[in-house]
């Protein structure tokens, strides 16, 4: 049989002498350590908030950093690079330099309309079927030249659009239901 401690209600053999309960001085040390940790955490949070307001903790000074103003061209180039718009921007530049690329005569009659980035197709509209045929014959050489300027594989194909019919004219002398001068030719 085991002897029981009547005050504790547990057997004496089961109770092992463990760490003693913290006394007044030890309790004060524990409370002081907890207060210091809380103050440090509050200070770190306030410091982070202040750095976020100042722009990520960068210090101002005489040297350049990420917060300095940029020239417009540099800012646009950075935006194009960050967003991955290099190819569409380059093709847009080609549309602006179209007369230098294809020649003045062809540029007067054939105008680039749009660029499909997914298909890598440049769509060009011509003002007559003769110029559309001429551009179709020149298309492989133009694709090679464009890829040389823009980077290999930027333009896979040039799609040539034929000219549309004459402009639709509406007026009081038209027959009801008529689609214009084109409805008698075909």
Selected residue with higher pLDDT from 73 and 181: 73
**105-159 per-position pLDDT tens digit:** 888 888 888 888 888 888 999 988 888 999 999 999 999 988 887 778 888 899 9
**48-69 per-position pLDDT tens digit:** 777 666 655 555 567 777 777 8
What DSSP state is assigned to residue 133? Answer: H
Quick one: 68 exposed, middle or buried, by C-beta within 10 A (0-12, 13-18, 19+)? exposed
Which has the minimum average pLDDT: 21-35, 75-89, 119-133? 21-35
pLDDT for res 141:
92
Give DSSP secondary structure letters for 32-92. HHHHHHHHHHHHHHHHHHHHHHHTTTPPPSSS--TTS---HHHHHHHHHHHHT-HHHHHHH
pLDDT > 70 in the chain, percent = 70
Half-sphere exposure of 162 (CA within 13 A, CB side): 6
Q: What mean pLDDT is reported for the chain?
A: 76
Q: How much is the CA Rg of the chain, to the nearest whole Å?
A: 40
Q: What is the pTM of this model?
A: 0.49
Selected residue with higher pLDDT from 163 and 20: 163
Q: Is the pLDDT of residue 32 over 50?
A: yes
Which has the minimum average pLDDT: 69-78, 163-172, 177-186? 177-186
């Amino acid at each position: 049989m085991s002897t029981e401690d009547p005050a504790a209600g547990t057997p004496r053999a089961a109770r092992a002498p463990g760490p003693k309960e913290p006394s007044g001085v030890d309790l004060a040390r524990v409370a002081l350590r907890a207060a210091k940790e809380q103050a440090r955490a509050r200070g770190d949070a306030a410091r982070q908030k202040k750095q976020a307001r100042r722009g990520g903790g960068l210090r101002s000074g005489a040297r350049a950093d990420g917060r300095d103003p940029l020239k417009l061209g540099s800012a646009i180039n950075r935006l194009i690079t960050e967003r991955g718009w290099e190819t569409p921007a380059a093709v847009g530049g080609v549309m602006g330099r179209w007369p230098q690329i294809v020649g003045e005569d062809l540029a007067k009659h054939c105008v680039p309309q749009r660029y499909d980035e997914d298909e890598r197709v440049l769509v060009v509209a011509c003002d007559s079927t003769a110029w559309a045929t001429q551009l179709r014959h020149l298309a492989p050489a133009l694709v090679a030249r464009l890829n040389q300027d823009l980077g290999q594989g930027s333009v896979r194909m040039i799609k040539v659009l034929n000219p549309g019919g004459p402009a639709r004219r509406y007026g009081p002398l038209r027959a009801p239901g008529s689609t214009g001068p084109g409805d008698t030719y075909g």
